[in-house]
Structure 1
Amino acid sequence: MLKHKWVLLISMLINMGIGLVMPITTIYIHTVLGKPLSVAGTTLLFFSGASMVGNVIGGRLFDRWSHKGPVIVGQTIASLSLLIIALSPTWPLYPIVLVFYGLGIGTAFASFNGLVAILQADEPLMFNYSFLAANVGMAVGSLSAGVLFAISIHLTFLVPGILFGLAVLIDIFKLEDGNAQTVKGPTNNVVSNPIHGAFRSIILIAFAFFVIWIGYSQWNTNLSTYMTSHGASVAEYSALFTLNAVVLVLIQPFGNRILPRIFPRKKYQVIFGTVVFACSFLMIIHQPHYINFVMGMLLLTFGEMVVMPTIPAWLNEFATPGNRGTIQSISSLAGGFGRAVGPLLGSLIIEATSYPAMFMWLCAADIVGAGLLVLAIDRQPNGK
């Protein structure tokens, strides 16, 4: 039986809420509120920046204050923000409150990952199970977003606000708390971690995660224009992400059992997954047919299954009780920064060269990231 079911339910609920909000953000700002796409992009940039600030805050609070306290604070901020937008989804209130929403989920995610990192000692596949629960929630949320948006914009934000509120109640009544260790002096610094080479490895892992998310963000943004210019409909483009969610939910339970046997060390699992990410772009460089996009998405999904839960688990090997939340916030920061700059960077490469050239650059960047990971260490803090 799975342990820590309440933690997995929280992961599912908050990702369901995010899946309801994010797919309609650009559409709502541009189509309903009548703002230029550049304004929508700027709003999302501020949202990502606030989320990254929340990552830092959540990680530090987890280490110095409480294990579940910052999770509750972050989810409460996110819930209240969505309820305010549900009452008055108007301009300029909407983008302002969306920034607070980003701050809330950033705080919640960093501290929640710290909590999962602690539970991993009791359940070795805790990150994998949490990732699976998150994808179930994201799939349900994304599929429901269009339905709720067609009914009412108020309902579109009310439902995820309620979901975050339910997560807060579970936090309060079902999660066990642990008092964070207040570590004074240099012992709370990642640089002084007793594992030789830990700081270098953490930086290399964070850089690889940053590069991966730059590429992943293209599928959520610039690929829509590329696909539709080659005859695909918006519905066919959206279907790729339904495929992504369904395949993740179906294959990850098998991946959880098989991949550790093939790659006993997390280092080589992440390197393999990063190369798979690179190959997803090779599928669509010279053959922009819909079947190639499907095959590219399947490779992307497989790489996601291999990499996304493994990186925080790998980083947790370098953590001590006094910096576990801070180290987990590093992966959130790296991913958030990649998501923030990825769409802009991709569009600049496209304008300067072409879509195929961008795919080649992204493929090469993933290969470089995978190569650099060879220099990282992979062992438990006790030296095993």
Structure 2
Amino acid sequence: MPKYIWLLAIATTVNVTGASFLWPLNTIYMHNELGKSLAFAGFILMFNQGASIAGNMIGGMLYDKISAYKTIIIGMSVAFSGSAIMIFFHSIIPYSILLVLIGFGAGMTWPVMFAMAGSVWPEGGRRAFNAIYVAQNLGVALGASLGGYIASISFNYIFVANAVLFGVFLVIVLMTFKQMDKERDPQMHTSVFEQNTAIKNKTAFTALLILCGGLLVCWIAYSQWQSTIASYTQDIGIGLEQYSMLWAINGFLIVLGQPLLKLITDRVTSTKKQIYLGNTIIILAFSITMFAEAFTLFAVSMAILTIGEMIVWPAIPTLANELAPRGRAGFYQGIVNSVGAAGRMVGPLLGGLIVDIYNIQLLFFVLLGLLVIPYFTTYLYDRRLTEK
């Protein structure tokens, strides 16, 4: 990989490690430590992800209009400020407000990181986006595995660790990203459209929205592991350290499982077929989770879920990059990241309401029904492109 991809990957790992001290434990902290209901926790996380959506869209547009360097500096300055204040004020009201602030600031960075990966290594294709995805999950593994242990001592240390790592990421950006930003091609695209006409742009954008409909459903389901399933594990006697270990399994398996992923993608060369396969594996994982009552079965389910997401998650920004017209790569990646944030926004609230009113078993049946939708969106998204 080019040196700039390595730089983006290292910075991503630091950033996500800091974030992963906090996000897997948000629901547990609000529900188990502060005594709030699952629906209330989901409501706060909805605002957090709503702010992330706004950050994704603004970050993507600023990438196209000004520069990657300035956009990341603005976003991470906001996120770092929020995390630093949270060290001293984390009762429910300031905690909720600061989560929204952090969501907005951190949200600005992600479309920029993915767009930069495609810009500095356009010939890398899926590999460029997969490098950022692997770096993200290495950060998840490190942050989650350490976070559970730290939280078992004191939640106060979690807030300190979160702020320190955000600060380190900001320093890395200040010291190294300016030169990389100068060398990127702001008009980079790998679009199937060589002419930037209004009709073709509209068709590509419609295709992106259809594709993202399936991504939204996947994230609604996936977000339950950070909210309702997280709280459920605590209710049945699985401790914080073991729950955090599930995310460590997730992150390390993604990093160590890249040879397996290459084996799959070498044989299943169609990106659409990769999404079909990945979605099927995700459905299998949730089917197993329905019956899990001990840590071992949760770990097996998480391992299967991880294989599914390894196949699906990098495929979507890759297709978005292919669809993007000239000079719109940042905006299209902002859409993808916003849809993921929307799933994380709706998921905890929807799941919390279902579990509070009914039970977690009904939630699993609802999720399995929803996960049928990505088959249709993946099949349909490029029909009009083919016709054009």
How do 1:130-279 residues align onto structure 2 when only pairs under 5 Å count? 130-150=132-152, 153-175=155-177, 176-178=180-182, 180=186, 192=198, 194=200, 197-224=203-230, 226-227=232-233, 236-251=242-257, 253-279=258-284
| 1:156 CA displacement | 2.5
2:204/2:324 contact within 8 Å kept: no
Letter in 2 for 1:268: K
Letter in 2 for 1:210: L
Q: 1:377 aligns with which of 375, 379, 382?
A: 382
TM-score, normalised with respect to structure 2: 0.85
1:14/1:167 contact within 8 Å kept: yes
TM-score, normalised with respect to structure 1: 0.86
CA distance, structure 2, for counterparts of residue 37 and residue 234 of structure 1 = 17
1:78/1:100 contact within 8 Å kept: yes
1:267/1:377 contact within 8 Å kept: no
CA distance, structure 2, for counterparts of residue 28 and residue 191 of structure 1 = 50
1:60/1:325 contact within 8 Å kept: yes
| 1:28 CA displacement | 3.7
Give the unaligned 5+ runs of structure 2: 188-192
Give the match for residue 190 of structure 2: none
Figure out how many residues of one structure are paired with residues of the other and give that number: 374
1:365 aligns with 2:370: yes
> For structure 1, which segment, 206-215 or 29-38, has the greater mean C-alpha deviation from structure 2 after superposition?
29-38
| 1:119 CA displacement | 2.8
2:145/2:241 contact within 8 Å kept: no
Give the match for residue 43 of structure 1: 44
CA distance, structure 2, for counterparts of residue 104 and residue 193 of structure 1 = 34
> For structure 1, which segment, 216-225 or 11-20, has the greater mean C-alpha deviation from structure 2 after superposition?
216-225
Q: 1:335 aligns with which of 335, 340, 359?
A: 340
> For structure 1, which segment, 147-156 or 273-282, has the greater mean C-alpha deviation from structure 2 after superposition?
147-156
Residues 98 and 292 (structure 1 numbering): CA distance in 2 closer, same or farther, change over 3 Å? closer
Residues 71 and 229 (structure 1 numbering): CA distance in 2 closer, same or farther, change over 3 Å? closer
1:267/1:314 contact within 8 Å kept: no
Residues 129 and 86 (structure 1 numbering): CA distance in 2 closer, same or farther, change over 3 Å? same
Letter in 2 for 1:218: Q
3-state secondary structure, aligned to 1:321: coil
> For structure 1, which segment, 116-125 or 204-213, has the greater mean C-alpha deviation from structure 2 after superposition?
116-125
Q: Which has the higher contact order (CA 8 A, sep 6+)?
A: 2
2:11/2:169 contact within 8 Å kept: yes
> For structure 1, which segment, 85-94 or 296-305, has the greater mean C-alpha deviation from structure 2 after superposition?
85-94
Residues 329 and 196 (structure 1 numbering): CA distance in 2 closer, same or farther, change over 3 Å? closer
CA distance, structure 2, for counterparts of residue 49 and residue 168 of structure 1 = 23
Give the match for residue 3 of structure 1: 3
Give the match for residue 16 of structure 1: 17
Residues 352 and 196 (structure 1 numbering): CA distance in 2 closer, same or farther, change over 3 Å? same
CA distance, structure 2, for counterparts of residue 354 and residue 34 of structure 1 = 19
Q: Provide the alpha-carbon RMSD of the alignment.
A: 3.1
> For structure 1, which segment, 50-59 or 143-152, has the greater mean C-alpha deviation from structure 2 after superposition?
143-152
Give the unaligned 5+ runs of structure 1: 182-186
2:43/2:348 contact within 8 Å kept: no
> For structure 1, which segment, 325-334 or 29-38, has the greater mean C-alpha deviation from structure 2 after superposition?
29-38
3-state secondary structure, aligned to 1:92: helix
Residues 105 and 231 (structure 1 numbering): CA distance in 2 closer, same or farther, change over 3 Å? closer
How do 1:281-292 residues align onto structure 2 when only pairs under 5 Å count? 281-285=286-290, 291-292=296-297
In the TM superposition, what whole-angstrom CA distance separates every residue of 1:92-138 from its partner, at most 9, and x where no partner exists? 33322222111100111122222123234043301111111111111
Give the match for residue 119 of structure 1: 120
In the TM superposition, what whole-angstrom CA distance separates every residue of 1:3-28 from its partner, at most 9, and x where no partner exists? 32111111101100110122333344
CA distance, structure 1, for counterparts of residue 110 and residue 155 of structure 2 = 26
2:149/2:240 contact within 8 Å kept: no
In the TM superposition, what whole-angstrom CA distance separates every residue of 1:336-358 from its partner, at most 9, and x where no partner exists? 11111112222444466654443
Residues 198 and 243 (structure 1 numbering): CA distance in 2 closer, same or farther, change over 3 Å? same
Residues 276 and 193 (structure 1 numbering): CA distance in 2 closer, same or farther, change over 3 Å? farther
Give the match for residue 184 of structure 1: none
CA distance, structure 1, for counterparts of residue 12 and residue 106 of structure 2 = 12
CA distance, structure 2, for counterparts of residue 287 and residue 157 of structure 1 = 31
1:303 aligns with 2:305: no
Give the match for residue 74 of structure 1: 75
Residues 191 and 272 (structure 1 numbering): CA distance in 2 closer, same or farther, change over 3 Å? farther
1:197/1:377 contact within 8 Å kept: no
Q: Percent identity?
A: 29
